[in-house]
């Protein structure tokens, strides 16, 4: 045990070594970002991992000036165009309500639902990946 303490004590800044503090900095948090919230098949209810992702992002941007938030609801190709449009709208609304509940300013939201039309990917995206809401945030440091 004493040897371990001596070994760890040697990990400090040695004489003649440069202080890394000015070189190592935290990544900026108040920057534009995109994140996605995934849903279960035919569901618009937020899952626990989705709530956690929203909470972590809200915490990360807590001290930022959130200028705009674009929320785009998507659905897979099953269920028909009208049903998918309604489902993607409910998904987008669920995400907006969670973000508002986390303290984000309501006037900054632009909510869009594109059903299965906007989920198409020329590279052949798989069906489960379409069951999501994309959130694009324009954030900047507060002045």
Question: Which residue has better confidence, 57 or 119?
Answer: 57
pLDDT of residue 81: 86
Question: Which residue has better confidence, 127 or 91?
Answer: 91
Confidence of residue 1 (pLDDT cuts 50, 70, 90): very low
pLDDT of residue 69: 94
Which of 17-31, 72-86, 106-120 has the highest average model confidence (pLDDT)?
72-86
pLDDT of residue 9: 43
- Show the 3-state SS of the chain: CHHHHHHHHCCCCCCCCCCCCCCCCCCCCCCCEEEEEECCCCCCCCCHHHHHHHHHHHHHCCCEEEEEEEEEECCCCCCCHHHHHHHHHHHHHHHHHHHHHCCCCHHHEEEEECCCCCCCCCCCCCHHHHCEEEEEEEEEECC
With pLDDT > 70 as the criterion, what percentage of the chain qualifies? 72
- 53-69 pLDDT tens trace: 999 999 999 889 999 99
Indicate the fold that domain 28-141 takes in CATH.
60s Ribosomal Protein L30; Chain: A; (3.30.1330)
């Amino acid at each position: 045990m004493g040897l371990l303490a001596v070994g760890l004590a040697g990990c400090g800044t040695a004489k003649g070594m440069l202080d890394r503090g000015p070189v190592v900095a935290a990544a900026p948090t108040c920057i534009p970002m995109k994140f996605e919230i995934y849903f279960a098949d035919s569901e618009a209810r937020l899952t626990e991992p989705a709530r956690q992702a929203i909470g972590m992002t809200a915490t990360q941007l807590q001290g930022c000036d959130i200028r705009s938030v674009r929320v785009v609801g998507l659905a897979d190709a099953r269920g028909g165009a009208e049903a998918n449009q309604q489902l993607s709208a409910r998904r987008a609304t669920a995400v907006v309500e969670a973000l508002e509940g986390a303290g984000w300013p309501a006037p900054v939201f632009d909510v869009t639902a594109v059903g299965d039309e906007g989920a198409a990917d020329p590279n052949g995206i798989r069906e489960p990946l379409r069951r999501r809401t994309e959130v694009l945030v324009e954030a900047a440091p507060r002045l």
